[in-house]
Amino acid sequence: MELLKLKSVIESLLFISGEPIRASRLAKICNIPKNDIEAAILELERDYEQEKRGLMIISKEDSVQLATRPENQEFVNQLVSGELGAELSRSALETLSIVAYRGPISRVQIEAIRGVNCSYVLRSLLLRGLVERKEAADIRGYLYEISFNFLKNLGVGSVKDLPEWDKLSKNEKVAELLDINLQESEKNIPLL
């Protein structure tokens, strides 16, 4: 794959993920050697820096993530604080319901249920303190679950106290969908 195309692909993957991704996973998705991925990431970092773009790549060990530039913090904070003060959108309510009734659940599983990317919505719910994420040893990524703040705001002692929790948390159609999704990810089909 030519360098320009590879940088474009990596940028898209980092954007859509919204979370850190290992260079080895990017290499597997792109079906190219890891050192080619690392070289393209370095080039992408240089591009962002030279062009003074609003994004940057942050790295930690073998993982990389797309982030906003610190000098744009004032404007980003205005957007985020506006989000936090606003009512929850329909997509946020849907995602929150899925986490409440099916959690702990991965982002990929939430997206399988909703049928759309949920990175932005999950970030908003995390910032509001309504969901929490934790690392899971058996999967790549995070599991999302309801926070104590969510329970406190609703005035319930447990997710089991939510309306129709027994029925909705064990919905067979959703269980089938999640089982299909699990089978696809076991076949090493890249799911973002």
Domain locations along the chain:
3-69, 87-186
87-186 belongs to which CATH class?
Answer: mainly alpha
Top-confidence residue, 172 or 43? 43
Identify whether the C-beta of residue 102 lies closer than 8 Å to the C-beta of residue 109. Answer: yes
Q: What fold is seen in the domain 3-69? A: Arc Repressor Mutant, subunit A (1.10.10)
87-186 has the same fold as 3-69: yes
DSSP helix/strand/coil, 86: coil
Identify whether the C-beta of residue 187 lies closer than 8 Å to the C-beta of residue 181. Answer: no
Give the pLDDT confidence of 51-99 residue by residue, as tens digits: 989 888 888 878 888 888 888 888 877 776 655 556 778 888 889 889 9
Distance CA 151, CA 124 (A): 17
pLDDT at 192: 40
How is the beta sheet containing 105-106 ordered, strand by strand? 105-106, 142-146, 131-135
CB atoms within 10 A of CB 176: 10
pLDDT at 82: 56
Give the pLDDT confidence of 150-192 residue by residue, as tens digits: 877 777 777 787 888 777 777 666 666 556 555 555 444 444 4
Give the pLDDT confidence of 104-149 residue by residue, as tens digits: 888 888 888 888 888 888 988 988 888 988 877 666 678 899 888 7
Tell whether the model's pLDDT for residue 29 goes beyond 70. Answer: yes
